[in-house]
Structure 1
Amino acid sequence: MGPDAVPEVYVAAGSNVAPEENLARAVAELSREFPGARFSPWYRNRAVGFEGDDFINLVTGFSTALPVRRVLERLHAIETACGRGRAAPRWAPRTMDLDVLLYGDLVCHEPGLELPRPDLLKRAYMLGPLAALAPEMVHPVAGLTIGELWRRFDRAAHPLEPLTSRCCDPHPPREPGP
Structure 2
Amino acid sequence: MTLNKVLISVGSNIEREKYTRAGLASLDRQFSDISCSGVYESEAVGFNGSAFYNLIVKAYTPLEVTQVNDILKRIERDNGRTHSEKKFCSRTLDLDLLTFNQVIIRQPIVLPREEILYNAFVLQPLAELVPADIHPVTGKTYRQLWQEYDKTAQRLWPVDFTWSDV
- Quick one: percent identity of the two aligned structures? 34
Deviation of residue 169 (structure 1)? Answer: 5.7
How many residue pairs were aligned? 166
Query: Structure 2 length as normaliser, TM-score?
Result: 0.95
User: Is 2:113 the partner of 1:140?
Assistant: no
Q: Give CA deviations for 1:84-108 in whole Å, capped at 9, x if unaligned.
A: 0111111110101111111112101
Q: Which runs of 5+ in 1 are unaligned?
A: 172-178
Deviation of residue 158 (structure 1)? Answer: 1.1
Match of 2:48 in 1: 51
Q: Give CA deviations for 1:53-97 in whole Å, capped at 9, x if unaligned.
A: 000001000111210000001101110111101111111101011
Match of 1:78 in 2: 75
Paired residues of 1:14 and 1:56 also in contact (CA < 8 A):
yes
User: Is 2:159 the partner of 1:163?
Assistant: yes
* SS at structure 2 position matched to 1:158: coil
* SS at structure 1 position matched to 2:82: coil
Q: Could you list the structure 1 runs, at least 4 aligned residues long, displaced by more than 2 angstroms after superposition.
A: 4-7
Question: Residues of 2 paired with 1:90 and 1:169: CA distance?
Answer: 32
The match for 2:110 among 114, 119, 135 is 114
Q: CA RMSD in A?
A: 1.6
User: Is 2:49 the partner of 1:60?
Assistant: no
Paired residues of 2:13 and 2:92 also in contact (CA < 8 A):
yes
Q: Which runs of 5+ in 2 are unaligned?
A: none
